[in-house]
Amino acid sequence: MRISEIRLKNFRNYSSLKVCFEKRINILVGDNAQGKTNLLEAISFLSTVRSFRVKEETDLIKKDCDIARIEGLITSQTGEKRLTALITANGKSLLVYKNPVKKTSEFIGQCNAVLFTPADMDFFEAPPKVRRRMMDVELSKLSAVYMENLNQYAKVLKERNTYLKQERPDLQYLEVLSEQLINLQIPIIQSRREFLDFITERISSLFCRFMDENHVIAVKYDSEFENYDSLYDQLKSKMASSLKRDIALKITHVGIHRDDARFLLNGFDVPTFASQGQKRMLILALKMAILEFIVSKINTYPILLLDDVFSELDIKKKERFANLLPKEVQILITTTEIGEIKGWEESELGVFIVKNGFIAPHKEGIR
Ligand SMILES: Nc1ncnc2c1ncn2[C@@H]1O[C@H](COP(=O)(O)OP(=O)(O)OP(=O)(O)O)[C@@H](O)[C@H]1O
Ligand SMILES: [Mg+2]
């Protein structure tokens, strides 16, 4: 899968933009605050229908304008698709070609992009919700059913928590809500586990190639369960034994909204054991493993968006990282210093200059 063209209208600092990308490696070079991350944010928005930087989508609309428009031409084995997202103060609308899409879950994943941003450096230290979001974002791009279950779960959970705030909640009604939560979360647990098992299988070898050292990485699904047989019965009894506590503290304690992904390096917890450098390499190895997971599911590589990745790496690691990237994957990579880009043949590079909300191909190549 690749993005062959993007058009932006009143998105962030872009008034009007059209760029055609190269099939393989696209380098976006520019000084600070010129619009490099904004461009990746726009492509990522087409993939996940959310910004990876802000909650308030109106921040995406160019100052003093009413509507932001992102339009991308996505090419894959199944042909070409023109995806459009319109963002206004009253919400957003999504279109495939010119046809409005009713459910977000039908839009997500049509452009599948995997993103690295410098904010990912905090991934292992961040609260569990950040790692849950990583699982949920990747799995939602691959399955509309996953996303719908997740949305439904969030809705019922909110309802149960609100209901728990009542003076004397009715136990039968609580039971109905608990039953719904149990049934909604079983497929979510199964998908998250399958995802993390796949990551565990691949991440060690990616990390070792990257570091040129031997290590073992494991990723564990950190949940209420020690085994995953008869999930229904286990959830039922855990929720039952937590009922008193739920009523007393007026909140739901058991469920997938509490789960986490736990990373182990040579058997030790990554957040407390791994060095800064190891964490940096590990997050990149994780992104590569996610890439492979996506290929295993949809039989095509996602687009890889790398924001400022090379400034984090020394020369050897830059080259090793470039060598880890599969030849089939389209990459958009931002940098302030073109000299930082190492490890690729000049012939496979497309270089673009990003300046104050404009982007132009850099004809002279990288020198
Ligand atoms: N809604 C908006 N309307 C107009 N301009 C905006 C809006 N949101 C952000 N900007 C501008 O976009 C610019 C930042 O762009 P971006 O984050 O893409 O920079 P960058 O090129 O990635 O820089 P760096 O190298 O520092 O990461 C800033 O000048 C900011 O003022
Ligand atoms: Mg930036």
pLDDT per residue as tens digits for the range 15-71: 999 999 999 999 999 999 999 999 999 999 999 999 999 999 999 999 999 999 999
Residues in contact with ligand 1 by the CB-under-6-Å rule are 12-13, 30, 32-38, 59, 61-63, 336
Say what the pTM is. Answer: 0.95
Find the ligand nearest to 34 CA.
1
Identify the residue whose C-alpha is closest to ligand 1 atom 8: 12
Cα separation of 10 and 63, whole Å?
Answer: 8
Residue 68 to residues 39, 49, 183, 267, Cα–Cα distance (Å): 13, 13, 39, 47
Q: What is the pLDDT of residue 364?
A: 53
What is the separation, in whole angstroms, between the first and last Cα of the chain? Answer: 29
- Average pLDDT for 289-318: 94
How far apart, in whole angstroms, are the C-alpha atoms of residue 216 and residue 140? 28
Alpha carbon 349 to chain centroid, angstroms: 25
Strands (E) in 23-142, as ranges, are 25-29, 68-76, 79-88, 91-96, 99-100, 113-116
Is the pLDDT at 266 greater than 90? The verdict is: yes
- Residue of the CA atom closest to atom 24 of ligand 1: 32
Looking at ligand 1, which atom is closest to the CA of residue 40?
18
Residue 62's alpha-carbon distances to 88, 334, 345, 356, in angstroms, are: 11, 21, 37, 13
Copy the structure tokens of residue 69.
């428009």
Biggest distance spanned by C-alpha atoms of the chain: 73
Average pLDDT over all residues of the chain: 94
- Output the CA 328–ligand 2 centroid distance in Å: 26
Name the β-bridge partners of 350.
Answer: 26
pLDDT of amino acid 310: 87
Q: Please give the pLDDT value at position 74.
A: 98
For a mutational test of ligand 1's pocket, the pick from 13, 37, 39, 63, i.e. the residue with the most ligand atoms closer than 8 A to its C-beta, is: 13
Q: Ligand 1: which residue has its CA nearest to atom 13? A: 33
Q: Which two tokens stand for residue 71?
A: 């339009």
Tell me the CA distances in angstroms from 180 to 59, 155, 224, 232, one per residue in order.
Answer: 36, 11, 18, 11
346: Cβ contacts below 8 Å, ≥ 6 apart: 365, 366
Pocket test for ligand 1, best of 9, 37, 305 (most atoms within 8 A of CB): 37
**Mean pLDDT confidence for 283-302:** 97
CA distance 332 to 22: 9
Q: From the CA of 335, how far away is ligand 2's center (Å)? A: 8
Strands 25-29 and 349-355, sheet pairing: parallel
What pLDDT is stored for residue 226 in this prediction? 74
- Mutation to probe ligand 1, out of 9, 12, 15, 28 (largest number of atoms < 8 A from CB): 12
- For residue 302, how far is its CA from the centre of ligand 1 (angstroms)? 25
Report which ligand 1 atom has the smallest distance to the Cα of 35. Answer: 18
Helix (H) or strand (E) holding 164: helix 144-164
Q: How confident is the model at residue 363 (pLDDT cuts 50, 70, 90)?
A: confident
CA dist 6 and 156 (Å) reads 38
Residue 218's nearest CA partner among 284, 259, 270, 278 is: 270
How far apart are the CA of 334 and the centre of ligand 2, in A? 8
Helix 171-211 to helix 144-164 angle (10° resolution) is 130
How much distance in Å is there from the Cα of 205 to the middle of ligand 1? 37
Q: What is the pLDDT of residue 197?
A: 96
Query: pLDDT per residue over 217-265, tens digit each?
Result: 999 999 888 787 889 999 999 999 999 999 999 999 999 999 999 999 9
- Ligand 1, residues 34, 53, 336: which to mutate, most atoms within 8 A of Cβ? 34
CA 234, CA 227: separation in Å to the nearest integer?
Answer: 9
| 259 within 8 A of 132, measured Cβ to Cβ | yes
Instruction: Catalogue all structural domains in the chain, each as residue range(s) with its CATH number.
Output: 1-112+302-367 (3.40.50.300), 124-295 (1.20.1050.90)
**Percent share of the chain, pLDDT over 90:** 88
Whether the per-residue pLDDT at 9 is higher than 80: the answer is yes
What tokens does 217 get?
A: 């990485």
Query: Of all helices (H) and strands (E), which one includes residue 183?
Result: helix 171-211
In terms of Cβ atoms closer than 10 Å to its own Cβ (0-12, 13-18, 19+), residue 364 is exposed
Say whether 244 sits in a helix, a strand or coil: helix
Atom of ligand 1 nearest to the CA of 34: 21
CA-closest candidate to residue 39, choices 337, 332, 342, 341: 332
Distance 181 CA to ligand 1 centre (A): 41
Ligand 1 atom nearest to CA at 354: 21
Ligand 1 geometric centre to CA of 111 (Å): 23
Find the 39 Cα to ligand 1 centroid distance in Å.
9
Report the alpha-carbon distance of residue 350 to residue 161 in Å, rounded.
Answer: 52
Counting atoms of ligand 1 from 1, which one is nearest the CA of 60? 1
Query: b/e for 232-253, b at 16 or more Cβ within 10 A?
Result: eebbeeebeebbeebeeeeebe
Q: Ligand 2 mean position to 4 CA, how many Å?
A: 22
Residues near 34 by beta carbon (within 8 Å), at least 6 away in sequence = 13, 354, 355, 356, 357
Is the model more confident about 274 or about 228? 274
Question: Quick one: which atom of ligand 1 is closest to the CA of 59?
Answer: 1
